[in-house]
Amino acid sequence: MSVCTVCSLKADHPGVVLDDKGVCNLCTMDFAEGLLENYRYTSKVFTEFQQAPQATGEYDCLFMYSGGKDSTYMLDKFVNEYGKRVLAFTFDVPFESVHAAQNIALAKEKIPATFVLDADDDNIKLMMREVFTRKAPKKPGKYLDEKLPCVSCRTFFVLRAILMAYRQKIPYIALCADPQQILTMESNVREVVRDFYKTFGERLADTLFGGELEALLFDEDENLPKIVFPFIATRHEYDPDRIVEELRAKGLYQSSPLETHCTLFPLLNYYSFKNFDCMFYKLNAASHVRSVQRNADYDRNTFSIKFPRSLDLPVVEERLGKVVLAIAAGEGVREDHEAELVDLFQRMDATEDAARFVAASFLDMRTVAADLGIPLG
């Protein structure tokens, strides 16, 4: 299998094409015009948000708060530094990490925002069953096909937030995607709705949202909330290590980025390996390899999890794929799988405690799949 000579992405990775020099289109940015157009729109909306006068309603923005380091860091800034009147919206995902819940409890003690908890276990589980059991896209696929379950889950609760902001006439929704995620996330509310209909069809979309999405397609632009990505303003200074350090100093964060991922993280890897022979974070790890290759003296990071310079990406990916597929099939010895996973996550720069925490979620993958009604193997 040919791989990109710069970032190690395989030639059959979704959306990837190698040129005659063995360099992929992500490294040459040949694919980027659509992404950059979205980036320009996102920058424009954030500038508008910064300059907007105080909203006439009760809140200046609905803030999507997950309990992860990025959203905790920015929620603290919005309320305690920028003086924004914030409705902190948390969707109670049924597969949420216990550490994310603990961070939310800390934020409620220290940040004077209005916190609201939303939930819809039955419908999000219905949607995730649909994603995991439908026929996977044909190879080589399109950019981000290997992340469809994660993107679908995120879009589900983004749409819940959009509907809440729309009903309460809150003009802006803050979504704390990291700089790399911003490039690939739609920021136009109407387009978010259209994409969801395209992915799941009118019948399922109306079932999941009680027919409310259609109003977002046909109302006037001025009545729709706008999505803003706060990290777009600090994309060149984004540093996950510094963010965690600042939060811990304020008593707002007690875990690591790996530990605040949802319990579906193992199933996301299973989906990626089974359908596209790649780890879930392959694009992100490849981005890190790309930055190191191009500038050995400057280790810029654009993603929430920081990878070590010494990471041997092809080896880690191959080993992780074997253990994930073995666990999914119910094969092998639990203790051996645990030792392999702990070693792999420590190679990705996790502490031993964090590596063991994440490894435990992988070992429980079959239980989580059974709860969702997702067949494995």
List per-residue pLDDT tens for the chain, 377 residues long: 789 998 889 999 998 989 999 999 888 876 556 666 667 778 888 888 888 888 889 999 999 999 889 999 999 999 999 899 999 999 988 887 788 888 899 999 999 999 999 999 999 999 999 999 988 877 778 888 999 999 999 999 999 999 999 999 999 999 998 877 777 788 899 999 999 999 999 999 999 999 999 999 999 999 999 999 998 877 677 888 889 899 999 999 887 776 666 789 999 999 999 999 999 988 888 887 787 776 655 555 555 566 777 778 889 999 999 999 999 999 999 999 999 999 999 988 888 988 998 999 999 999 999 999 999 97
In the chain, the domains with their CATH numbers are 1-31 (no CATH), 33-249 (3.40.50.620), 263-372 (no CATH)
CB-count burial class (<10 Å; 0-12, 13-18, 19+) for 50: exposed
pLDDT digits 0-9 by tens, 137-187: 777 788 889 999 999 999 999 999 999 999 999 999 999 988 777 777 888
Q: Report the Cα 194 to chain-centroid distance in Å.
A: 20
In this prediction, residue 308 carries a pLDDT of 75
pLDDT of the residue at 52: 83
> Can you tell me the distance from the alpha carbon of 273 to that of 261, in angstroms, rounded to the nearest whole number?
18
The predicted pLDDT at position 31 comes to: 56
Phi and psi of 238, rounded to 5°?
-60, 125
| E strand spans, the chain | 61-64, 86-91, 114-118, 172-174, 226-228
pLDDT value at position 302? 54
CA–CA gap between residue 91 and residue 127 (Å, rounded): 15
251: left (phi over 0), alpha (psi -120 to 50) or beta: left
